Amino acid sequence: MQIALGTEDLTKVRFLISPLWETVASIRALQKGTPLHRPWIRMAKERIAASSDSRAQEHLSILTALVLPNGYIADSLTPTQQRQDSFGESLEAIRAVPTEFWERDLRRLADRTAESPSRLTIDELLNDLDTAVSRILAALEWYWATAVEPFWPRLRSVLLADVDARLEQLARNGIQEVFKTLHPSVRPTSTGLEIVRRRCSCSTNNVPDPGHGLILVPNAFVWPDTLVLNVQPFVPSITYAPRGVGRLWDTVRETSESPVSALLGRTRAQILAQLDVPMTTTQLACALDLAAGTVSGHLRVLSGSGLAESLRSGREVFYQRGELGEALLSRA
């Protein structure tokens, strides 16, 4: 697959963190049983089974029909976002997608699900396009609240840390170096980007006109692959796995009897161990069952000594382990 990028496009490359895109990618991870996400899959399945929504199975049938385990995902599920939208705002972007694009996507899915139980669901949606989008939105809203939103703070922390690292890389080495390190399948070319696919359901028709830029979307659940959106009327987008995703579901390291605990004290050692992914003071306080003021005081000491470092996103401040903190724990 090729994404053509001119000079103007390179000046409009931007990063986007999207709860909607994370939700869509998680539907595939749930179906495939992606090994990296097994702890989340177990918890998500438990929450889905315990759902009190009488339409839970209908919602799940719709979503798994729109997001195939391999290959095509309905493009209209991930419309271009203009900013870091909330999940609710993202649903409004889906609602604004013209009906003809939904019909295009559903017919493509019908062609790919001829021998699948999902075909019945696709046909139902096609036969009543007036209510199809409302049913899809209701399914997404239920699934987000049930399976993704409870884990969003941890997911978002990993995504923010990746964007921070890549912006630093951009400032230091330029956009071409960022492209080279997104994913092994992404290769810069003289005319843009080539994305190597094992199987490609893409088409060279209806590609976006040049000049709209490129959106890069870190996404934990897309691992170990990428997702590419390169069709009108949307801005070309590449969804890739963020750095540190391998530690996303790690449990807290035991530090109570370690040399680190003897050196720093038990609470500071616990906080340092918890920072496998960036977290706010509030998140740390909840995770460790400590007062926020207590955590804040310890973080000041850890940051002042270089063991931890802060990362600001809007009004929020996240903390992550610094290189010195990583080295200290690795030797413990």
CA end-to-end span of the chain: 46
Place of tokens 């038990």: 266
- So what's the pLDDT on residue 202? 52
Task: Let me know if domain 251-330 sits in CATH 1.10.10.10.
Answer: yes
- The model's pTM is 0.77
**Edge to edge, what strands does the sheet with 237-240 contain?**
13-15, 214-218, 237-240, 227-229
State which amino acid sits at residue 1: M
Contact 269, 186 (CB under 8 A): no
**In the chain, where the domains are located:** 2-14+154-194+207-245, 18-152, 251-330
* Distances 85 to 12, 17, 40, 197, 200 between C-alpha atoms, Å: 18, 8, 24, 29, 29
Residues 122-170 pLDDT 10s? 999 999 998 999 999 999 999 999 999 999 988 888 888 888 889 888 9
CA distance 142 to 310: 34
Place of tokens 């190597």: 196
CA distance 52 to 152: 21
pLDDT of the chain along its 332 residues, tens only?
Answer: 788 888 888 889 999 999 999 999 999 999 999 998 999 999 999 999 999 999 999 999 999 999 999 888 999 999 887 777 789 999 999 999 999 999 999 999 998 887 788 899 999 999 999 899 999 999 999 999 999 999 998 888 888 888 888 988 899 999 999 999 888 888 888 888 888 766 555 555 677 777 788 999 999 999 888 988 888 888 889 999 998 787 788 765 545 556 877 788 888 988 888 887 777 888 788 667 788 889 999 999 999 999 999 887 667 788 888 888 888 887 76
The closest of 166, 190, 186 to 178, measured between CA atoms, is 166
Where would I find the H helices in the chain? 7-10, 19-32, 38-49, 56-66, 87-95, 99-112, 118-127, 129-143, 152-173, 175-180, 259-264, 266-274, 281-288, 292-304, 323-330
Residues 6 or more apart whose Cβ sits within 8 Å of residue 317: 280, 281, 310, 311
- So what's the pLDDT on residue 251? 62
- So what's the pLDDT on residue 137? 96
CA distance 63 to 76: 13
DSSP per-residue letters across 163-182: HHHHHHHHHHH-HHHHHHTT
For 151, the token pair is 């884990």
Coil, strand or helix at 36? helix
- Taking the C-alpha atoms of 175, 181, 182 and 187 in order, what is their torsion angle to the nearest 10 degrees? 80
Pairing mode, if any, of strands 308-313 and 227-229? Answer: unpaired
Contact 27, 67 (CB under 8 A): yes
Place of tokens 């801005």: 235
SS3 of the chain: helix, strand, coil, percent, to 5: 55, 10, 35
Residues 54-68 pLDDT 10s? 999 999 999 999 999
Q: Is 112 exposed, middle or buried (0-12, 13-18, 19+ CB in 10 A)?
A: middle
CA distance 318 to 86: 19
